[in-house]
């Protein structure tokens, strides 16, 4: 059996990726610790979606509520900091909005 590409204590979080220059969309999954993924799933259940863009090696990610005018975003370089930035995006969105919706 082939082991997963990430530790079993991790779980995938779906992000809609926008590809440039055409603007095509592609569903991608980012593996994060289950604690972070649980927060992401709770936010999704409350109406949030996660999006990510790569423009000239700059990563822009957002958490957007589908029905309310709520958006939290983060920007980072395309490298090891992406994982920490995903965690920061989800933790901040959860902290600010989970009890408000």
In this structure, what CATH number is given to the domain that contains residue 66?
3.30.160
Tokens of 19: 């590809």
Is 3's pLDDT higher than 60?
no
Structural domain includes residue 1: no
If 0-12 CB within 10 Å is exposed, 13-18 middle and 19+ buried, where does residue 63 land? buried
Instruction: Supply the pLDDT for residue 78.
Output: 92
Sequence length of the chain is 101
* Domain count within the chain: 1
Structural domain includes residue 31: yes
Residue 55 DSSP code: E
Give the domain extent around 32: 10-97
Structural domain includes residue 4: no
Instruction: Supply the pLDDT for residue 7.
Output: 72
pLDDT tens digit string along 29-79?
999 999 999 999 999 999 999 999 988 889 999 999 999 999 999 999 999
Is 5's pLDDT higher than 80?
no
Structural domain includes residue 87: yes
Pairing of strands 24-33, 48-55: unpaired
Structural domain includes residue 39: yes
Is 92's pLDDT higher than 80?
yes
Pairing of strands 71-77, 58-65: antiparallel
Structural domain includes residue 2: no
89 phi-psi bin (left φ>0, alpha ψ -120 to 50, beta other): alpha
If 0-12 CB within 10 Å is exposed, 13-18 middle and 19+ buried, where does residue 51 land? middle
Structural domain includes residue 5: no
Structural domain includes residue 3: no
Q: Distance between CA 20 and CA 98 in Å, rounded?
A: 32
């Amino acid at each position: 059996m082939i082991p997963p590409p990430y530790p079993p204590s991790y779980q995938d979080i779906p992000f809609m990726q926008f590809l440039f220059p055409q603007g095509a969309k592609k569903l991608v999954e980012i593996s994060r610790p289950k604690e972070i993924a649980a927060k992401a799933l709770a936010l999704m259940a409350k109406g949030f979606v996660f999006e990510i863009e790569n423009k000239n090696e700059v990563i822009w990610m957002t958490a957007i509520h589908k029905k309310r005018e709520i958006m939290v975003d983060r920007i980072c370089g395309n490298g090891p900091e992406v994982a920490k930035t995903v965690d920061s995006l989800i933790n901040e969105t959860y902290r600010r909005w989970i009890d408000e919706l």
